[in-house]
Chain A
Amino acid sequence: MSYTLTSWSDFKNYQSTCYRNYAYAPEGLRCIGSIWSPLAPLKGLGDDVYIIGGEPHAASKAGTFPEEAREDIAASEIAGLGFHTCSYLKLFVAEVVRDKIGITDGTLKEGYPKPDLIWTTNLCNLHSKWYQEVSRRLGGIPLYPIDVIGGGNAEKDPKIVNYVCDQMEEGIGWLERVTGREFSDELFIKAARNEIKVLVLWGNICALNMHAPAPLDERRLIALFPPAMVDRTTDECVHLYEALFKEVQHMVEIGQSVVPDQRYRIVYFGLAHTYGHPEMARILRDAGAEIVASVYTFGTAGNFRGLVNGNWSWKPIDPAWVDELDLSTRRDALCALAKIVLGWPTWQGVRSYWALELMGRAMVKEFQADGLLLAPTRTCETDFRNGYIAMQRIFKNEIPTMEYDTETVDVRKMDLPGAQRKTELFVHLMEAHKKGGA
């Protein structure tokens, strides 16, 4: 019998509340930017700072309003964006162009709520250009991009950690001057500890999937990680994930899972979620094939042991370590935050193919995978789609490996017919592999 999570609706409400606050808050500061940037510095300006992150917003808009999303993307191409630019970007800028915003509670608000400032990063060389376009179209919104460089082992490289800390230090000065507000170190340090706590907790929740049966599957993880993306600096967010962590630990103790039939455990490397498409999900479910580990949901908002003397490990970090962290000064908090962000698997895999390979090997081993599903995204600059090509070569001889040809939110570029053929084949290959014992 499949287990149903009790805290499911709290997650949905938290995300919708964040969006409604951003869209309808009568006063306070509206801030947009990439969720790949450290968010805690914004909370040093006060409790009334409402955030929308570009990527989760575009993803949830496409999920909640598929037809609107299709029109958004056409509108962005009419507005002149490149035909091959990132479709998250197109969808996000299109809401500015069409002057309406979609909210995860299913409502569409006419009139795009203009942000007061943009706090972003430069993960791919497009991120800052993404928000340059929003800033330009809304008459010049102040924008601060943090260059996080990324790359394997970055969180252990003092040069990169200091570089990110120095930029955040300068950024805090900029925030004060641009908003005219006092920056409260106390609020910032509390927000920083929450942010680090949520990221570590999420790592712990994901790592529990190493068990058999894995308590959660990728479809649930994808729905449970947005709050950690949209605003992970609040106490409620920490409580949400602490409650979820307890519940999932309990599921492991009683051997329960949201998807009990796990004849085939799949590791998933990719941003796009074509497997979530009803047709693909049906084929996998009918064969008892479940995605138990994914670099996207694990690696976008989760921290793990990571690179330990040359090898990657998806084992979690003890949440208690976060409470004992000495964050007495602003610099301590900044450095701890920089290390956590630089530690994200997605940050490390983008610029270092060797780190991505190590992550792939570790995930296949630690989560006892029967199959590896790769989903390179057609227009995403950050996506490690080159890494997938090499991974396909490495893993093809070890376990069944299948590569989709897909896209984040531009359904026109998803190869759904091909994904269907490849999913059927993927299941046959796993059956043959298991039977042949090869």
Chain B
Amino acid sequence: MNKGHNAIIEQFRHITENPHEYAKSLQGKGRLVAGYMCTHVPEEILYGAGIIPVRILSAHVSQAMTRSYIHETYCSYSHDCAYQGLQNHYDYLDLIVHSSSCIHMAEAYNVWVRFAGFQQKSFLMTFPHVLYTKPARGFMVESYGELKQFIEKFVKKSISDDDIERAIKVYNHTRRLLKRLWEFLRRDNPPITGLEVATVTLAAQVMEKQECNQMLEELIQGLEAEPGKESSGVRLMVTGSSVDDLRVFDLIEHLNYSTNLIFIESCTAARYFWYEVPEDRPDKLEAIAEGSIGRIPCPAKDTVPGTGEKKRLRFIQQFIQDFKPDGVILVYQRFCSPQAMDILAVKPILNMLGIPWTELELDTTVPITQFGTQLEALVEIIKRVEP
């Protein structure tokens, strides 16, 4: 792989390792920066007002002290995000915005507002939990309207339809570029590793999108011209809850057997960008609502009224068809109930498709050698290793 896009990937990696430094550099250029934890926050409205939305990620350092703020049976992702607030790592943010998410992340947000000094610079947008009804769509548009009014008061200038349309186009462009980046992994010998794509995707969630788009375009052009690597190994796909611990993906691609991480269906990867907001629509908030309803649903908001079906399973089966994994890795946050109830329904599907799987239980700190053993055992099953 030529030095060109290695350098770009390195830039993305640097941003994932120093998100604060990057965000402060944006503020240095006079930009306002707003943090969000749940991806149902419509970033286009913030971006349209000139505010740069950045995702609040966890740091994977043990934080028992958050047990006196958040009950211990909440997921480690909510504890870690709360801990970042309590440790004042994100004090520089001008604003945090949250949409009514699963109750664990709602509590992480509450800790920031009650105990981490974000009382005056925070906004909670009520958002539906059952998305696939006509009333839900109307409720969403009303909620977006309330957020828009708040932001207009916050930046003391109105947000025109053109502002939002421009933001929609920039964000759709990022989504298309990220999709093309992930499409490389469909090849038998992709020119880029799954870990690198995951790193770029994670960085994209904390970056100013126009700058991110330029880097993505340059990277993709470089990769187009790049011949694939030599023989590719076992193709592994990850599906499950938010994973912003790149060590897990690093481990998946550095086992004792050659493996390729070819897809990650998670809210810190595919679920973040695998959709588009319809462009050039008269009602911009209506368009954002339509885009949001078309997303891969988060397990906490995935019930199809009538059948009670989990719509996310349709997407998972489509990704399996397109990316052709040899094995699937189910990741779930310890104590996450919605995810545990989804995994219950994914396993029979994988068994019927004849695709071996294993479960990794994520926590603040992850037992790397145990995970390594589980993953290598999965690969040994796929490669039919026997004495």
Contacts and interface: CB of A to CB of B under 8 A. Distances in A.
A146 B344 CA distance: 23
A132 B130 contact: no
Interface in B126-158: 126, 128-130, 133-136, 138-139, 142
A82 interface: yes
Interface in A125-155: 125-126, 128-133, 135-136, 140-147, 149, 151
Contacts of A81: 340-341, 344
A140 B307 contact: yes
In this complex, which of A124, A174, A382, A388 has the most chain B Cβ atoms within 10 angstroms of its Cβ? A124
A163 to B, nearest CB: 5
B281 interface: no
Contact of B71 (A136, A144, A163, A386): A386
Interface string A69-110: 000000000001111111000000000000000000000000
A379 interface: yes
- The interface size bin for chain A is 35 or more
Interface residues of B, number: 49
B368 interface: no
Contacts of B130: 122, 128, 145-147, 167
Interface in B330-379: 332, 334-345, 347
A160 interface: yes
B68 interface: yes
A83 B336 CA distance: 10
A167 B308 contact: no
A242 interface: no
A366 interface: no
A159 B142 contact: yes
B100 interface: yes
A353 B135 contact: no
A125 B334 contact: no
Interface stretch (B101-109, B184-192, B269-277, B282-290): B101-109
Given A131-B308, A143-B303, A166 B345 contact: no
B114 interface: yes
Interface in B300-316: 300-303, 305-310
A407 to B, nearest CB: 10
B334 A84 contact: yes
Interface string A369-399: 0000000101101100110111000000000
A170 B114 contact: no
Contacts of B345: 132, 136
Nearest to B111: A386
Contact of B344 (A80, A159, A389): A80
B308 A386 contact: no
B301 A125 contact: yes
Given A135-B308, A381-B103, A390-B114, A84 B340 contact: yes
A137 B334 CA distance: 24
B341 A381 contact: no
B76 to A, nearest CB: 12
B70 interface: yes
Contact of B307 (A85, A142, A159): A142
Nearest to B108: A386
A174 B306 contact: yes
A331 interface: no
A315 interface: no
In this complex, which of A144, A145, A147, A151 has the most chain B Cβ atoms within 10 angstroms of its Cβ? A147
B69 interface: yes
A125 B302 CA distance: 9
Given A125-B103, A353-B110, A166 B341 contact: no
A350 interface: yes
A381 B307 contact: no
A132 B133 contact: no
A118 interface: yes
B138 A128 contact: no
Contact of A170 (B133, B302, B308): B133
Which 4 pairs across A and B sit closest by C-beta, in order of nearness?
A82-B340, A143-B308, A166-B135, A125-B300
Given A125-B102, A386-B74, 20 more contacts: A80-B344, A81-B340, A84-B73, A84-B334, A84-B335, A122-B129, A125-B300, A128-B130, A128-B303, A129-B303, A130-B341, A140-B308, A143-B303, A143-B308, A145-B308, A147-B133, A159-B139, A163-B139, A170-B134, A174-B306
29 contacts: A82-B337, A82-B340, A83-B340, A84-B337, A124-B337, A125-B103, A125-B129, A125-B299, A125-B300, A125-B301, A126-B338, A129-B341, A130-B341, A132-B341, A136-B345, A142-B307, A143-B305, A143-B306, A144-B306, A145-B303, A145-B305, A147-B128, A149-B100, A149-B129, A159-B139, A167-B130, A170-B134, A378-B73, A389-B69
